[in-house]
A = this chain, B = another copy of it.
Amino acid sequence: MIANMTEDQLLVLVIKYIKEAKRGALQQLLDELHPYDFAQIYRGLPEKHHHKFLTFLTPGQIADLIQELEYDVQLEILQQLGIERSSKVMDLMDNDDLADLLNELSVDKIKEFLDVMKKEDSQNIQSLMSYPAETAGGLMTNQFVWIHADQTVRQAVDKLKAYASFSENIYYLYVINHEKKLVGVVSYRDLLIAEIDDKIEDLMFNRVVAVHVDADQEEVARTIERYDFIAVPVVNDDNVLLGIITVDDALDVVIREANEDIEKLSASGKDIDFNTKALTASFRRLPWLILLLFIGLVSGSIISGFEETLDQVVALIFFMPMIAGMTGNTGTQSLAVVVRGIISHHIDRRTVISLVFRELRVGLIIGLTCGLLIMLIAFVWQDNLILGLTVGISLLITLIVGTLAGTVIPLLLYRLGVDPAVASGPLITTINDIFSLMIYFGIATMFLSRLTGL
């Protein structure tokens, strides 16, 4: 029956069980559900039922639930549970999730929770909390299963059985030596097809792909993606095994990083989603906009420098938005190619040179095409050949410059260690605005005597 129920139907049933205080029935229902479902039910429940719902759950179920929720809801639950019951729940949470949660609390609060936890767990958590958030150390859990090379398949399976009851993330068994250095890896599958008395050292892979504890989270995700791993081991300089990172965390990293790139490319401000309050969203967006406002004024003052030229040929203004816009657009196009490429390519001198020359050729091709087109249009529209030439030549040059700016600026930022996505679309657009106006009015001024002569 439960098998085919929708989320809404489940929620109605849960509310019914809560109202009728049917703890047993609720437990039977929850047994068939996943942590994500727990979270959806909790989010859907009217607030007055939250407390009772929590009292009906086992500490293990609350641990599953809490791991799926947003930080502020997590805190709310901990408060409802009180310090005693919270610490029981925390003992059962995945270490990496718990470390993330505690990292958000005040120092006093952290100490309070750690004090009531089991000593071993508390130490484990504290060591995890010492790593920076966006590194392998910050992502890893130290709940993994290890074994020695001289043990047998039987011993390995027994150990796995013992661990399987309190960790869901066991797909590989890591082999360490007596200095705790990582020397091999065995998968479930290897154990399954092996004979029960085989030695681990005869089954294991010796060349273990691992990531360094200081590695950036993007590198971790890339490694997991390339090798199609379910988990990757984390080691220190001495190759000592410190923890593991599972593929579900890699997936979250990839999604988060993609969102960050889009945020930066559109200069849209950090962490704005559908639920962000208007005032907060405004304050996150304003710094960019005010910066761009001043850059925009630079364009204005450039134009004011050419006031004389403009006074004589007002038609020049008609093509101004088109030239500035096109230059900005081609720059954004190049920027996107570079930002995407940097994720998957090793950037050496040869790559940079060949990329810049490629974009130079691209600029030339699109410049010639669009330049000729606009020359024709300007000539027909304004019946002025020199104006057509001015606009056409300007567009040719600005498109080449814009394309190169969109390529060179992000590469330069990357070389300086700045995230090139920060050279955001609007910023490149605005810089290219300035370039294009100077080129356009510069050329127009050169042609001025002929422009007014006709």
- The contact string, 1 if C-beta is below 8 Å from chain B, for chain A 301-343, is 1011001001100110111111111101110111111011100
Q: Which of A12-20, A43-51, A122-130, A161-169 contacts B (4 or more CB under 8 A)?
A: A161-169
Q: Scoring A residues 220 to 242 as 1 if CB is less than 8 Å from chain B, else 0, what string do you get?
A: 01001111101000000000000
A369 at the interface (CB under 8 A from B): yes
Majority-rule SS of A interface residues: helix
Residue numbers in B under 8 Å from A369 (CB-CB): 282, 286, 290
The docked-state distance in angstroms from the alpha carbon of A429 to that of B297 is: 18
Pair A318/B304 contact, Cβ less than 8 Å = yes
Assuming A293-B370, A325-B299, A362-B278, is B335 touching A266 (CB within 8 A)? yes
Bound-state CA distance A183–B2 (Å) is 12
Indicate whether A420 reaches chain B with its CB closer than 8 angstroms. Answer: no
Q: A86-128 interface mask toward B, CB cutoff 8 Å, 1 = contact, 0 = none? A: 0000000000000000000000000000000000000000000
Q: When the two chains form their complex, are residues B193 and A227 in contact, meaning their CB atoms are under 8 A apart?
A: no
Cross-chain contact A325 with B433 (CB below 8 angstroms): yes
Interface residue stretch chosen among A52-60, A73-81, A133-141, A254-262: A254-262
Is there an interface contact between A251 and B225, defined as CB atoms closer than 8 Å? yes
Would you call A300 an interface residue if the criterion is a C-beta within 8 Å of the partner chain's C-beta atoms? yes
- Copies of this subunit: 2
A321 touches B279 (CB 8 A): no
Residue in B170, B262, B336 whose CB lies within 8 Å of A340 = B262
B340 pairs with A209, CB closer than 8 A:
no
The verdict on A373 contacting chain B, using a C-beta distance below 8 Å, is: yes
Q: Does A176 contact B (CB under 8 A)?
A: no
A133 to B35, alpha carbons, bound, how many Å?
31
Contact A319/B340 with A255-B225, A293-B370, A361-B278 known, Cβ cut-off 8 Å: no
* Chain A 20-62 interface residues, beta-carbon cutoff 8 Å to B: 32-36
Say which residue of B206, B354, B362 sits within 8 Å of A281 (CB atoms): B362
Separation of A286 and B371 alpha carbons in the complex (Å) = 12
Q: Is A414 an interface residue (CB 8 A)?
A: no
- From B33, B205, B261, contact of A258 by CB (8 A): B261
CA A254 to CA B343, docked complex, whole Å = 14
CB-defined contacts of A325 to chain B, threshold 8 Å: 292, 295-296, 299, 426, 429-430, 433
Contact assessment for B299 and A322 in the assembled complex, using a CB-CB cutoff below 8 Å: yes
- Complex interface: chain B residues within 8 A of A160 (CB): 192
Q: Are A206 and B2 in contact (CB under 8 A)?
A: yes
* Other-chain residue from B227, B251, B362 in contact with A247 (beta carbon distance below 8 A): B251
* Nearest 9 Cβ contacts at the A-B interface: A296-B322, A258-B258, A278-B361, A266-B336, A300-B318, A299-B321, A282-B365, A228-B248, A268-B336
Listed A/B pairs (25) with beta-carbon separation below 8 Å: A3-B183, A3-B208, A36-B228, A224-B251, A263-B340, A265-B425, A267-B329, A269-B333, A278-B361, A282-B366, A285-B330, A289-B333, A289-B366, A290-B369, A292-B325, A293-B374, A296-B325, A296-B326, A300-B318, A304-B318, A311-B314, A325-B430, A328-B426, A328-B429, A332-B426
